[in-house]
């Protein structure tokens, strides 16, 4: 029997390092393929879309008829203020699922199997974030459609609503990098969900989504006026209700870019360590 030399052993297929370092174009293509995989997975388990299909309908109807008369005197007067606001809350809430599903996939070993494929290591992560854009689109469109059905008539017209939807989708995608970071470093999906909602709920409810800022106590107004969610809500209202783009639109875009520049590298670095 011939002895196996160390050199030949090092060249054995099972001992060779995986060469999944690919170029930018190939990484982008592989990320889109992984995003398509995520959409196919949703088709097989449609209950994953309940939060972006049922929630917009239930929340829009419930809060409109509970708060409309008390805050604005009648539902019709409340809709121009409320519909863009609840659309923002719905889309931002949907972004939490990014981190939760990411943690679940990592716990199940899905990303470990991806490591054996000759693809960029960041492609599964990027693909998951890209696929979630479809969730944000469904949530925002359904909210505006429900608003129109119950009497909302945005003066910005269709283009104004499209602009508001695109802005909300872009900001939600940026925010999803934060929750993806929690998903990578979190110990369990339930822990990721708990921490994410603990951060998101105060930001959405202590904002100008439901009531005018000037009706709040002075100390609360100080927080609401600097709350990033309030800037996004005001920007969405301007686009949908008037078709105009005020300074809040610019601040919302700048804020989203800052979040991506900070949390995208942190998330990718933590993901590379864990996988």
**Residues 178-188 pLDDT 10s:** 999 999 998 88
Residue 187 is predicted with a pLDDT of 87
d(C-alpha 82, C-alpha 216), whole Å: 16
Residues in the chain: 275
Per DSSP, the residues of 201-266 read HHHHHSSSSSS-GGGS-HHHHHHHHH-HHHHHHHHHHIIIIIS---HHHHHHHHHHHHHHHHHHHH
6-39: string of b/e by CB count within 10 Å (b at 16+)?
A: eeeeeeeeeeeeeebebeeeebeebbeebbeebe
In 3-state terms the chain splits into helix, strand, coil percentages (rounded to 5) of: 80, 0, 20
Residue 104 is predicted with a pLDDT of 85
Lowest mean pLDDT among 26-35, 176-185, 225-234, 248-257: 26-35
Tokens, residue 85: 């606001």
Residue 270 confidence (pLDDT) above 80: yes
Chain centre to alpha carbon of residue 235: 18
Residue 208 confidence (pLDDT) above 60: yes
Burial class (CB in 10 A: 0-12, 13-18, 19+), 47: exposed
Place of tokens 């972004």: 95
Residue 1 is predicted with a pLDDT of 45
- Assessment of whether the complete model's pTM goes beyond 0.85: no
Residue 89: which of 183, 191, 201 has the closest Cα? 201
Longest dimension (CA), the chain: 93
* Averaged pLDDT of the chain: 84
Structural domain boundaries in the chain: 26-274
Residue 121 confidence (pLDDT) above 80: no
Residue 21 is predicted with a pLDDT of 58
Residue 12 confidence (pLDDT) above 50: no
- Average pLDDT for 111-116: 72
Split at pLDDT 50, 70, 90, the class of 6 is: very low
d(C-alpha 82, C-alpha 90), whole Å: 12
Residue 18 is predicted with a pLDDT of 43
Split at pLDDT 50, 70, 90, the class of 177 is: very high
């Amino acid at each position: 029997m011939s002895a196996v030399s160390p050199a030949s052993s090092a060249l054995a297929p099972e001992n060779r390092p995986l060469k999944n370092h690919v170029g930018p174009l190939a990484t982008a293509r592989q990320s889109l393929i992984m995003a398509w995989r995520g959409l196919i997975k949703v088709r097989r388990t449609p209950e994953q879309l309940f939060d972006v299909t049922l929630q917009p309908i239930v929340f829009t109807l419930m809060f409109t008829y509970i708060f409309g008369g008390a805050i604005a005197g009648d539902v019709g007067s409340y809709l121009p203020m409320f519909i863009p606001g609840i659309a923002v809350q719905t889309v931002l809430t949907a972004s939490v699922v990014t981190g939760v599903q990411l943690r679940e996939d990592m716990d199940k070993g899905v990303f470990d199997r991806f490591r054996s494929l000759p693809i960029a290591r960041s492609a599964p992560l990027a693909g998951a974030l890209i696929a979630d854009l479809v969730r944000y689109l469904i949530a925002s469109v359904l909210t505006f459609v429900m608003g129109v059905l119950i009497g909302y008539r945005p003066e910005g017209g269709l283009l104004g609503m499209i602009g508001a939807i695109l802005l909300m989708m872009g900001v939600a995608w940026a925010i999803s990098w934060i929750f993806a970071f929690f998903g990578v470093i979190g110990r369990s999906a339930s822990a990721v969900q708990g921490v994410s909602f603990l951060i998101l709920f105060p930001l959405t409810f202590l904002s100008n989504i439901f009531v005018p800022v000037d009706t709040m106590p002075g100390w609360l107004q100080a927080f609401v006026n600097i709350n990033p969610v309030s800037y996004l809500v005001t920007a969405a209202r301007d686009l949908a209700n008037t078709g105009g783009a005020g300074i809040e639109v610019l601040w919302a875009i700048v804020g989203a870019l800052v979040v991506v520049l900070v949390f995208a590298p942190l998330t990718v670095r933590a993901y590379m360590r864990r996988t």
